[in-house]
A and B are shown apart, each in its own frame.
Chain A
Amino acid sequence: GESVGLHLPTLSVQEGDNSIINCAYSNSASDYFIWYKQESGKGPQFIIDIRSNMDKRQGQRVTVLLNKTVKHLSLQIAATQPGDSAVYFCAEEYSGTYKYIFGTGTRLKVLA
């Protein structure tokens, strides 16, 4: 498989616990943010998004929080499962540019 996460920070979580993955974004003018999940050797998979006029958005077992004051984004995964093991990274879009800036990612390991 593709070794995309050789030197990434790693978060280890017990199965069933909640996970929190953090991301610091770079541009205060960014107005759209996405969290992706990437398994080894595969393309990134969309998880959840949030626009800058919101502070929180919930999906199925996932919640994204946006703190524009400190340019911080977090992804919360409830009741973490073995299938959640992957690299997670955030992306920000500069308003109107059609271009995204991607974070380097965090590897999530779920311990049985």
Chain B
Amino acid sequence: DGGITQSPKYLFRKEGQNVTLSCEQNLNHDAMYWYRQDPGQGLRLIYYSQIVNDFQKGDIAEGYSVSREKKESFPLTVTSAQKNPTAFYLCASQRATSTDTQYFGPGTRLTVL
């Protein structure tokens, strides 16, 4: 069963804690992305990676960090520096070529207690 998986589905964080969201894909896609979704807003890009061991900041990277040690995996860490982390986080992937479809995972809902 090919696709993108994200875990956990729901995550609760206390203020001051770092948390890591998992994203795994078995589509053999080179590019992977992390987005944040808030009610009434379009998806906003946090980080993206076009190749293993390389990644770039998106529009709202402050307070987040990523790694890309394996082609299949692109974990996102929400650090305590992110002041308003409660949101729905979406991971996506696409083949390396531009003008190609991005496919999304099921998302992780993060809530700060």
Contact = CB atoms under 8 A, between A and B. Distances in A.
A and B bound? yes
Interface of A: 2-8, 31-32, 34, 36, 41-46, 49, 51, 89, 91, 93, 95-105
A5 B40 contact: yes
Given A4-B39, A6-B40, A102-B42, A46 B101 contact: yes
A96 B90 CA distance: 22
Interface stretch (B11-19, B61-69, B72-80, B102-110): B102-110
Interface residues of B, number: 28
A96 B98 contact: yes
Given A5-B40, A6-B39, A98 B50 contact: yes
Contacts of A45: 104
Main SS of chain A's interface residues? Answer: loop
Contact of B102 (A3, A42, A91): A91
Contacts, number: 69
Nearest to A52: B99
B41 interface: yes
B39 to A, nearest CB: 4
B99 A93 contact: yes
B106 A98 contact: no
A44 B90 contact: yes
Contacts of B40: 5-8, 104
B90 A89 contact: no
Contact of A43 (B90, B94, B100): B90
30 contacts: A4-B39, A4-B88, A5-B40, A6-B40, A7-B39, A7-B40, A31-B99, A32-B98, A32-B99, A42-B106, A43-B4, A43-B90, A43-B104, A43-B106, A44-B43, A46-B103, A51-B99, A91-B102, A93-B99, A95-B99, A98-B31, A98-B94, A98-B98, A99-B45, A100-B43, A100-B102, A102-B35, A102-B42, A104-B42, A105-B42
